[in-house]
Amino acid sequence: MSLLPKIPHVLYGGDYNPEQWPEEVWEEDVRLMREAGVNIVTVGVFSWALLEPRPGEYVFDWLDRLLELLHANGIHADLATATASPPPWLAKLDPESLPVTREGVRLWPGSRQHYCPSSVTYADAARALVEQLAARYGKHPAVALWHVNNEYGCHVPACYCDQCAAHFRHWLQERYGSLDAFNEAWGTAFWSQRYGDWDEIQPPRAAPAFRNPSQEIDWQRFCSDALLELFLMERAVLERDAPGTPITTNFMSFFKPVDYWKWARHVDLVADDEYPDPAEPSSAVDFSASCDLMRSLGSRAGWVLMEQAVSAVNWLTPNVPKHPGKMRLGSYQALARGAEGILFFQWRASQFGAEQFVSAMVPHAGTSTRSWREVVQLGGELAQLDSVLGTQVEADVALLFDWESWWALEVPGKPSPNLLLPDQIKRWYRAFWEQNIAVDFAHPEADLSRYRLVVAPNLYLLTDDAASNLERFVDGGSTAAFSFFSGIVDSRGHVRLGGYPAPLRKLLGIVVTEFWPLPDDEPCSIVLGEQRYACEHWRDWIELEGAEVVGTFADGWLEGRPAVTRNGGAWYVGTRPNPGATAELVRRLATEAKVASSVAAPPGVEAVRRSADGRSLLFLLNHGSQEASVEIAGEQLDLLSGAKHSGRVVLDPFGVAVLTT
Ligand code: GLA
Ligand code: ZN
C-alpha cells in the first residue's frame, strides 16, 4: 500500500519549474525523468504570476500542455496551489497585503512569501486561484497530490501589521471570552499592563524591555494558527472542488514558528523539507531526528521527504557540496526512518533567479556528471523497493516534544540564556542514535502506552493533562526521565507553585528549591557510578523527598548534592550532562526499561528496522569514510546489491545495505 493511490511505488522526483525554460527543454526533461526513474514532480509552486498575469485573468494553456506531457510519459504531478509567492500586482493593488516586521518595516515584492497572513486581499486572491486550479485539474489523471502553498512561515513566520493586530485580538477573544480572563492569563497586574479594552492589545512589537512572556507565547500560538487558517481555507476549496486527491503541504523539520502537531491533523500525508549541512558533522544525526519527528507527526503511517538537495544549497556559509555517495546515504536514512518517497529541490538547476546556485537533479553541467549518475542510480534502486511500502519503524522510546513548551522556554528572561530546546533534544537524541535505539517523538499529552521509556528534555511548559498522563505512564510500570527546568510553567506561562517542578514533584520524589545556572567558563562535573563526567549550563538544588540518588555534583557550591535521581521509574537529571554522561544515562534507562538496539553495529553505522506483516527490512547505513563490518544473524539478502550475506556484512564508505531474510 502506498501513500498515493496513483503511485504504488516509492515516490521519486523533485520540484519542477518548467516555466523557467522554453518548451523544447520540457521534452528533454521528461526523457531524463524517465531515465532517472522519476514518478512524481512538484509543479507550479512559484507560478502564480504566470497563471494569473493580471487580477482575475487566468492563463492555463502552458500548464495544460505540461500536465499532458507528464501524463503521456507516466509521470505524476504533485500540483501546487501556487499561493506561496503572490504576483507583483497584488502588492500594487493593496500594499497592506505585504507583511510588516516586529520593528515596523514593510517587506516588499522582489523575493517571495511577501504576504501578510491576515490580509483579506491575499486570502481572497489565493482562494480564487485555488478554485480555478481545482476546477481545471481536479480530475486530471496526472495529478496525484495537491501541494498547498509552500513551507508556511519560512521567511515570514509572523507579521506585525495592523490587520494582524486586529486578527490577534479576535483570536484572543475566542480563546479567553472575557477581558478579565484574558488579563488574568497574561498576568497583566505586572508592570502596569492591565488592558481595559480589547483594542488596546498589540502584537509583541518592538518594545523597550522584556515583553510579557504570556503575550509572547499566545502570539506564537496565534501566528501558527493564522497560517493554519490559510492552509485550511485552501484545503476546503480542494476538498469541495477536487475531491479524492490527497492534500499536503511541506513542513520544515524542527521549525519553531509552526506547531506541526496541530497541523499534522489536517494533512493527508506528512511531507518535509530537509537540508542538512554537508559541512556540519552532526547534521546526519540531526537529520535522523527530523525524519523521526516526521514519522511521528504522520502517526507512523509514512511520510515523504518532499525536498532535499542533490548536493549544495546557496544559503549556508559556505555552501559545501555533498561528497559522492552522501546524497544516496541521506536518502536511505529517510527511507529507513519511514519515508515513502524521496524528492528533491529541484529537478533542473535554474539559470537565473535567486537560486541559481542551488544544486539540482539536472545540474548546470548537464548529465555527464557524477551527481546525475547518482540521481539515476538512486532512482533505479528505489524502483526495486516496493517491498518497503507500508512497513513501520517500531520504537519503544519516545522523546517528548511540544512546540508550545519550546516557545515558552525560549522567551527571554530565564535563569540562563543557554536554554535552547533543539540543543537539549539533540543531546538526548544523539545518545539513542549512537546506540541504534529507535525513537519516536511524542506530544506530552499523547497516548504513550505503546512506549516503554519516555524522555522529556526541558519540558518547561507542562499542562495538568500532560502531568497526569506521565504519572499514569510511570504508574503503569514504564520508565520516564525528565531533564532540568521541566514542569515549570502552565499553559499560560505562569510558574507552577509548590516547589519545582510542582506537577512532577510527587512522581519524582524530589523538590528543586533553587536554580544554579552556570557561567560558561565555570567547570561543573557529576559523578555517576565510579565515573566523573563534565556537565554544562545548569545545576539544580535538589532536596530528596523519597527519591534515591543516582549521581551527585562533584564540584562547586553544590558538591555532594544530588544531580541525578530516581524514584522508581521516574528519573530526574538536574543538569545538562556531557555527551558521555548522556550516553551512560541512556544505557541505564534502556536497560531499566528493557529497550534494545536494532542491531549491534560499530560506531558511525546507523541501523534501523522497518517491518510489517512478517516482512522485516534492516537498513544499515555507514556514515564513516572507511569500510565498516556489521555482524548479522544468519543469511540475509541485500535488496540493493542482490548479494547474500552470511554472518556479517561489509559496508562501503558511506555505503548502505537493506537486508531481509
Ligand atoms: C526550500 C524551498 C524551495 C527552495 C529550497 C532551496 O526548501 O521550498 O523552494 O527555495 O528551499 O534550498
Ligand atoms: Zn499582517
- Minimal-distance CA residue to ligand 1 atom 4: 345
Task: Identify the nearest ligand to the CA of 80 by its number.
Answer: 1
- Minimal-distance CA residue to ligand 1 atom 11: 345
Q: Which three cell numbers stand for residue 239?
A: 476538498
Instruction: List 535's β-bridge partners, or say none.
Output: 577
181-218 pLDDT, tens digit per residue, is: 999 999 999 999 999 999 999 999 999 999 999 999 99
| Whether the Cβ atoms of residue 293 and residue 259 lie closer than 8 Å to each other | no
Cα–ligand 1 centroid distance for 42 (angstroms): 12
pTM: 0.98
- pLDDT above 70 covers a percentage of the chain that reads 100
Task: Identify the nearest ligand to the CA of 155 by its number.
Answer: 1
Q: What is the distance in angstroms between the CA of the first residue and the CA of the last residue of the chain? A: 21
Cα–ligand 1 centroid distance for 41 (angstroms): 14
Burial 150-159 (b: 16+ CB within 10 A, else e): bbbbbebbbb
| Whether the Cβ atoms of residue 366 and residue 410 lie closer than 8 Å to each other | no
Left if phi > 0, otherwise alpha if psi is -120 to 50, otherwise beta: which for 61?
A: alpha
Residue 242 scores a pLDDT above 70: yes
User: How far apart are the C-alpha atoms of 248 and 237, rounded to whole Å?
Assistant: 13
Cα–ligand 1 centroid distance for 345 (angstroms): 6
Among 52, 96, 151, 584, which one carries the catalytic annotation? Answer: 151
- pLDDT above 90 covers a percentage of the chain that reads 98
328-380 pLDDT, tens digit per residue, is: 999 999 999 999 999 999 999 999 999 999 999 999 999 999 999 999 999 99
486-516 pLDDT, tens digit per residue, is: 999 999 999 999 999 999 999 999 999 999 9
pLDDT of 521 reads 87
572-588 pLDDT, tens digit per residue, is: 999 999 999 999 999 99
What is the rounded average pLDDT for all residues in the chain? 97
Residue 1 confidence class, pLDDT cut points 50, 70, 90: low
Mean pLDDT for the stretch of residues 624-633:
96
| Ligand 1 atom with the shortest distance to the CA of 252 | 7
| Ligand 1 atom with the shortest distance to the CA of 313 | 12
Is there a catalytic annotation at residue 174? no
- Minimal-distance CA residue to ligand 1 atom 12: 313
Residue 468 scores a pLDDT above 70: yes
From residue 475, alpha-carbon distances to 480, 504, 568 in Å are 10, 13, 9
Sequence-distant (≥ 6) Cβ neighbours of residue 184 within 8 angstroms: none
Residue in 248, 250, 327, 345 to alter for ligand 1 test, most ligand atoms within 8 A of Cβ = 345
Mean pLDDT for the stretch of residues 398-427:
97
20-61 pLDDT, tens digit per residue, is: 999 999 999 999 999 999 999 999 999 999 999 999 999 999
Q: What does 386-430 look like in DSSP terms, one character per residue?
A: GGGTT-B---SEEEE--HHHHHHHTSS-SS-TT--HHHHHHHHHH
| Whether the Cβ atoms of residue 401 and residue 440 lie closer than 8 Å to each other | no
Mean pLDDT for the stretch of residues 521-527:
94
579-622 pLDDT, tens digit per residue, is: 999 999 999 999 999 999 988 999 999 999 999 988 999 999 99
Task: Identify the nearest ligand to the CA of 98 by its number.
Answer: 2
Is there a catalytic annotation at residue 434? no
Domains belonging to the chain, first-starting first, are 11-159+223-390 (3.20.20.80), 397-593 (3.40.50.880), 605-660 (2.60.40.1180)
3-class DSSP string for 198-210: HHHCCCCCCCCCC
290-322 pLDDT, tens digit per residue, is: 999 999 999 988 999 999 999 999 999 999 999
Cα–ligand 1 centroid distance for 308 (angstroms): 9
- Minimal-distance CA residue to ligand 1 atom 7: 273
- Minimal-distance CA residue to ligand 1 atom 10: 355
User: How far apart are the C-alpha atoms of 283 and 563, rounded to whole Å?
Assistant: 30
Residue 91 scores a pLDDT above 80: yes
Element housing 226 (H / E): helix 213-241
Instruction: List 339's β-bridge partners, or say none.
Output: 303
Q: Which three cell numbers stand for residue 455?
A: 524522555
Q: CB within 6 Å of ligand 1 — which residues? A: 150-151, 273, 275, 307, 313, 345, 355, 358
Cα–ligand 1 centroid distance for 656 (angstroms): 27
